[in-house]
């Protein structure tokens, strides 16, 4: 694990993170083999970023930027004392002279002037922007690249929302499921739930009655309370008995099967046949078509 951490640290400093050990394994392979997913992800990130640091990468700029990060507040206070009108800028000559007095490891005038010239506007240098290092240090070595990024509340650049991401709210066409019944019951889309009364002490799935007359449980057992359930629920659980009773589907007498209840419409304007078709249940589709 120490080898992995050392490799990631060296990669941040600009070293090659793809070096192999005696067994020919890289730091990412070792992290993956040991089950350290976070370390493997950081090693992969270091490998991908290696070789992309040619632009704005000079060792003295990274060292100077590290010094700025550690002594940022002291440097800003020193520059602010020289800034008479508190404009946040200093003249080029005054800025270089003050910087040499604060940081003694500056390079020769050519390299330093090239870095200062990037921040030179209106014969002055913005010292806060220079201390941020965003213009002369590679992005991979900036502290801002490793900070948590916050999303803009306004959505786009300059406070303007971005195009193509506007979500238009489209209302769903729904209707009322109907009034209550004359006896105070729920609307007609709620059908009666058929519950089969069976004495489980005598009959079970493995020991079923040989004939329906043999099962006389309804004569001595208390009948369950009647309840009404939405027909969507009965279609979902494939309660054929409740659907036949609700829509009065009689397989033995098809001519007497009325067709005035199978055309119920719920709040989404869907009939039981439409719901069964959407579920792909061919047996229920045939049953509802047969019942009208």
* The token pair that represents 39 in the structure block: 């370390």
Q: Note the pLDDT of residue 249.
A: 74
Q: Coil, strand, or helix at residue 111?
A: helix
For CA atoms 83, 89, 92, 98, give the dihedral sign.
positive
Write down the residue that tokens 């409740």 correspond to. 242
Q: Note the pLDDT of residue 120.
A: 76
Q: Coil, strand, or helix at residue 100?
A: helix
| φ, ψ dihedrals at 140, nearest 5° | -65, -20
What are 228's strand-pairing partners?
Answer: 192
Q: Note the pLDDT of residue 261.
A: 63
The three-state DSSP-derived secondary structure of 241-278 is HHHHHHHCCCCCCHHHCCCCCCCCCCCCCCCHHHHHHH
Round to whole Å and give the CA distance between 24 and 21.
Answer: 5
| φ, ψ dihedrals at 289, nearest 5° | -65, -40
Tens of pLDDT along the chain (292 residues) come to: 555 566 555 555 556 777 777 777 887 888 888 887 887 887 787 777 665 555 556 777 888 888 888 888 888 888 888 888 888 888 888 888 888 888 777 776 667 777 777 777 777 888 888 888 888 787 777 777 766 666 555 555 555 656 666 666 767 788 888 888 888 888 888 988 888 778 778 888 788 888 877 778 877 788 778 788 898 998 999 988 888 888 877 666 554 544 446 678 888 888 899 999 998 999 999 888 887 6
Q: Note the pLDDT of residue 255.
A: 45
Q: Coil, strand, or helix at residue 91?
A: strand
Burial class (CB in 10 A: 0-12, 13-18, 19+), 135: exposed
Q: Note the pLDDT of residue 277.
A: 92
Round to whole Å and give the CA distance between 291 and 283.
Answer: 12
CATH code of 59-145, in short, is: 1.10.238
Distances in whole angstroms, Cα of residue 154 to Cα of each of 160, 162, 249: 7, 9, 60
The three-state DSSP-derived secondary structure of 45-82 is HHHHHCCCCCCCCCHHHHHHHHHHHHCHHHHHHHHHHH
Round to whole Å and give the CA distance between 187 and 181.
Answer: 6
Round to whole Å and give the CA distance between 46 and 58.
Answer: 18
List where CATH 1.10.238 sits in the chain: 59-145
- DSSP type of residue 207: S
Q: Note the pLDDT of residue 4.
A: 56
For residue 261, how many C-alpha atoms fall within 13 Å in the half-sphere facing its CB?
18
What is the Rg, in whole angstroms, of the alpha carbon atoms belonging to the chain? 39
- DSSP type of residue 181: P
User: Is the whole-model pTM more than 0.75?
Assistant: no
**Listed residue (197, 174, 183, 187) closest to 268, CA to CA:** 174
């Amino acid at each position: 694990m120490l080898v992995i951490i050392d490799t990631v640290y060296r990669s941040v400093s600009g070293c090659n993170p793809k070096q192999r050990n005696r067994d020919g394994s890289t730091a990412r392979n070792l992290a993956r083999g040991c089950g350290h997913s976070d370390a493997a992800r950081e090693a992969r990130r270091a490998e991908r970023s290696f070789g992309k640091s040619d632009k704005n990468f000079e060792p003295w700029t990274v060292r100077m930027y590290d010094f700025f990060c550690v002594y940022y507040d002291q440097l800003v206070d020193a520059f602010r004392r020289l800034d008479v009108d508190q404009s946040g800028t200093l003249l080029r000559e005054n800025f270089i002279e003050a910087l040499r007095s604060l940081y003694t490891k500056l390079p020769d005038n050519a390299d330093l002037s090239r870095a200062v010239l990037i921040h030179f506007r209106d014969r002055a240098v913005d010292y806060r922007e220079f201390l941020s290092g965003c213009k002369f240090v590679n992005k991979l070595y900036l502290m801002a690249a490793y900070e948590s990024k916050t999303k803009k509340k306004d959505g786009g650049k300059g406070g303007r929302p971005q195009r193509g991401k506007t979500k238009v709210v489209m209302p769903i066409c729904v209707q009322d499921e109907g009034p209550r019944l004359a006896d105070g019951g729920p609307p007609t889309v709620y059908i009666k739930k058929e519950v089969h009364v069976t004495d489980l002490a005598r009959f079970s799935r493995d020991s079923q009655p040989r004939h329906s007359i043999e099962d006389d449980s309804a004569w001595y057992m208390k009948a369950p309370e009647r309840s009404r359930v939405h027909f969507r629920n009965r279609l979902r659980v494939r309660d054929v008995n409740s659907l036949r009773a609700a829509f009065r589907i009689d397989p033995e007498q098809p001519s007497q099967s009325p067709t005035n209840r199978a055309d119920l419409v719920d709040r989404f304007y869907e009939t039981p046949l439409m719901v069964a078709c959407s579920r792909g249940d061919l047996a229920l589709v045939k049953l509802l078509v047969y019942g009208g």
